[in-house]
Amino acid sequence: MSKTAGHAANSHARNLAEAIILQSIEDLWNPVCKRGSLMFFEGDGFVLCSELAGISYIKQLAMLRMLADAGPKTSLGNLRRAI
The mean-pLDDT minimum among 4-8, 11-15, 16-20 falls in 4-8
User: How many structural domains are present in the chain?
Assistant: 1
Task: State the Cα–Cα distance between residues 75 and 68, nearest whole angstrom.
Answer: 7
| Higher-scoring residue by pLDDT: 67, 9 | 67
Spell out the residues 6+ positions from residue 30 whose beta carbon is closer than 8 angstroms to its own. 37
For residue 31, give its domain range.
3-82
Q: What is the pLDDT of residues 32-75, one digit of tens each?
A: 999 999 999 999 999 999 999 999 999 999 999 999 888 665 56
- The angle subtended at Cα 39 by Cα 45 and Cα 66, nearest 5°, is 80
Per-residue pLDDT, 70? 82
pLDDT for position 7:
65
